[in-house]
Chain A
Amino acid sequence: NAGVTQTPKFRVLKTGQSMTLLCAQDMNHEYMYWYRQDPGMGLRLIHYSVGEGTTAKGEVPDGYNVSRLKKQNFLLGLESAAPSQTSVYFCASSSEASRSGNTIYFGEGSWLTVV
């Protein structure tokens, strides 16, 4: 039972480079999210998706793009990486059925360093 899987787990980028973080979930969840977490801070929502083919901005969307071409996958892209984007990125998913409560399932995290 994989749950939420993120790749890669670690990555070092040079300023200006681009990359894509991949997220896959096998729980058939409608909603998927990308968060970032800086040292000593809580999680901040970057973008989220309420279903295949739809995305929406979260709290800190600037500098990131996302795509949800398949229900089980949610991709986070950095077009031109900046040192301020050095962070730990968490992908998550949830079922939005009211009876599911507010249970969000998180991946293991992706550590990104931009030099």
Chain B
Amino acid sequence: LAKTTQPISMDSYEGQEVNITCSHNNIATNDYITWYQQFPSQGPRFIIQGYKTKVTNEVASLFIPADRKSSTLSLPRVSLSDTAVYYCLVGPSGSARQLTFGSGTQLTVLP
């Protein structure tokens, strides 16, 4: 299983764009990259998933370079309510049981 590395914490201000990068140097050919968000006292929530290039939904964008050894979660114009822990997971699609949640990145949005 691909190991991921992401920053422990990040601070940002309201209205800014936030980019959280995840490294996954040994990603396999059939692995997908999935990001989850966890608020205090709640279970994680799926944000976005991608395989290559760029994926965008109503919440975030995911940028994946050609070599796929890293990925960047982009949150546009963050608000205080975006303060949460963000997890980057790598694994084959349809094999959620193989996904490993690391410590994630604590994003704190300041007023």
Contacts and interface: CB of A to CB of B under 8 A. Distances in A.
Interface of A: 4, 31, 33, 35, 40-45, 48, 50, 56, 58-59, 90, 92, 94, 96-109
B103 A101 contact: no
B51 to A, nearest CB: 10
B43 A99 contact: no
State which size class the interface on B falls in: 20 to 34
Given A42-B103, A48-B97, A96-B94, A101 B49 contact: yes
Contacts of B93: 98-102
A109 B43 contact: yes
Given A42-B104, A44-B101, A90-B44, 13 more contacts: A42-B102, A42-B103, A43-B44, A59-B100, A94-B97, A101-B93, A102-B91, A104-B46, A106-B42, A106-B43, A108-B43, A109-B41, A109-B43
B46 A99 contact: no
Nearest to A90: B43
12 contacts: A33-B96, A40-B103, A90-B43, A92-B43, A94-B97, A96-B94, A102-B32, A103-B34, A104-B46, A106-B43, A106-B44, A109-B42
Given A108-B43, A109-B43, A100 B99 contact: no
B73 interface: no
Nearest to A41: B103
